[in-house]
Chains A and B, each alone.
Chain A
Amino acid sequence: MMGSSSKGRCISYDYSFKILLIGDSGVGKSSILLSYISNFVHDLSPTIGVDFKIKMVTVGGKRLKLTIWDTAGQERFGTLTSSYYRGAHGIILVYDVTRRETFTNLINIWAKEVELYLTNRECIKILVGNKVDRGSERAVTTEEGMEIAKEHKSLFLECSARTRENVDRCFKELSSKILEVPSLLENGSIVVKQKILDKTRAHKEVEVNDRGCCH
């Protein structure tokens, strides 16, 4: 498990959102993330377990800290990645427009996983068809994607991690939609988090005092 944050860890922000990338192995989850974070596109190795990156953005005048979790696509890693659904504000469901089975698995497997493990009922989902730069090999039409997205009450986009087409837009649309949901804002708010932290700290101090430590 590795993580890296973009420059400026101490930059203040209004909200912190947890976003999850899921989908079959090789659909381009890590590539989308890398393309979004660093504008850098090349062939990537399979993700083992979980990886995450942090990006600070401003959407609708609000400063957001996006913690984006990238998960391994192979089915057996599901037993490890399921715990990462907890507290997610947004979920990006990725399929490969050139491999039809990655699209059907999204409906038959991944959407069900989401239902099973999600803790935020109002969490925003976005269906993303990747690899549109390989238009000649397309196996899933835009209309099919839109229809399934509608069925699952998700946003929808088609993108290419390679050409970066629609990659920024994917995260932007997801973030601005999350900003529209009050209940999600509440648990993504820095103020609320601070309060929880203060509470636990106060609690700890009481404990310490109770113990009557003497040095």
Chain B
Amino acid sequence: IQSRFSGLSLSTLPQNQNRTSRSRLRLRRCLPQISSTRNRSPYAGTRVRSQAHIPILRPSIHARRENITVKFQDLYGFTVEGNVDDVNILNEVGEKVRQQGRVWWALEASKGANWYLEPSVSEGIALKFSLKLSTLANAITLKKLIRKGIPPVLRPKVWFSLSGAAKKKSTVRDSYYNDLTKAVEGKVTPATRQIDHDLPRTFPGHPWLDTPEGHAALRRVLVGYSFRDSDVGYCQGLNYVAALLLLVMKTEEDAFWMLVVLLENVLVSDCYTTNLSGCHVEQRVFKDLLTKKCPRFLEP
């Protein structure tokens, strides 16, 4: 395969190895400082512009016929496997993300670094009106921007603020998360048993999530939440949500508050509670919608 790649004049393999060793280095760097970086996921705040670039492969008929698969890690550490065509599509998407990023940077330059975090702007999105025209304009701009995708480096900040997680966190004492995780340490409940069972099964093989450090962080977030909300406790599926939040958010604590705000304010309520009543409602609504809009799907 290596010779094929050089025949295609590609630098895929060396670059990939580079990336992998770099992320390994990062992981190793984190290990000796677990206590000080305990709340930090190694994928947090990834510098995207240098990381997300996937080497461009020039597809040739030869390459397609041979169906060479290319394997690399994406910016959150997931292994992506595909043929030359897939990689080219990913490159196109990556380029669009970079373009979109440039729009964000340009706006930061003209409106100020945190213009979108102004409460009047972020709340303007929800309220759809504002007394000040410029604020309203900003709110509309922001909504359009978000619909086209938030650049990965800005995600931790934008998600945390606009979801309402920041506000939620600010209503309790600063030590809330630390106190919570300390208070529940060593307690065994049906929820913790199921969590422990699912930790190694959550994105198995991921370079950080599937390590003792990753398992421990995910465990603290899930167990912490299970004690915060006993109606939910732990529901399978939350492990994936929390794991992805850990990869995106800057700190473990921010990931926890994102999970809190998602479950308590953003998502349809009761989707994860002990009887999944929210899911039943959703399914019923979906069925009614199908009956109305696409009745032929419901024919026997």
Contacts and interface: CB of A to CB of B under 8 A. Distances in A.
Interface of A: 25-26, 43-48, 72, 74, 76-77, 79-80, 196-197, 200, 204
Contacts of A79: 275-276, 280
Given A74-B194, A74-B236, A76-B274, A46 B201 contact: yes
Contacts of B279: 80
B198 to A, nearest CB: 6
14 contacts: A25-B197, A26-B197, A43-B204, A43-B205, A45-B201, A45-B203, A45-B240, A48-B236, A48-B237, A72-B236, A76-B235, A79-B276, A79-B280, A204-B299
Nearest to B274: A76
Nearest to B300: A200
A98 B274 CA distance: 27
Nearest to A42: B204
The listed residue with most A CB atoms (<10 A of its CB), out of B202, B273, B276, is: B276
B299 A200 contact: yes
Nearest to B210: A43
Contacts of A76: 235, 273-276
Contacts of A46: 198, 201-202, 236-237, 239
B300 A77 contact: no
A72 B236 CA distance: 9
Contacts of A25: 194, 197-198, 236
Interface in B218-255: 235-237, 239-240
Contacts of B276: 76-77, 79-80
B271 to A, nearest CB: 11
A196 to B, nearest CB: 7
Contacts, number: 48
Nearest to B283: A80
The 9 closest A-B pairs by CB, nearest first: A43-B204, A48-B237, A74-B236, A46-B236, A76-B274, A26-B197, A79-B275, A45-B201, A79-B276
A109 B205 CA distance: 33
A74 B205 CA distance: 23
A85 B122 CA distance: 47
Contacts of A48: 236-237
A79 B272 CA distance: 12
Nearest to B273: A76
Contacts of A44: 201
Contacts of B240: 45
Interface in B252-287: 273-276, 279-280
Nearest to A74: B236
Nearest to A26: B197
A76 B275 CA distance: 6
B299 to A, nearest CB: 7
Contacts of B239: 46
Nearest to A1: B283
Given A46-B236, A46-B237, A76-B276, 8 more contacts: A25-B194, A26-B201, A46-B198, A76-B235, A80-B276, A80-B279, A200-B300, A204-B299
Nearest to B198: A46
A79 to B, nearest CB: 5
Contacts of A197: 300
B157 to A, nearest CB: 30
Contacts of A45: 201-204, 240
A197 B299 CA distance: 10
Interface in B29-61: none
A209 B204 CA distance: 57
A47 B280 CA distance: 18
A47 B197 CA distance: 13
Contact of B300 (A47, A80, A196): A196
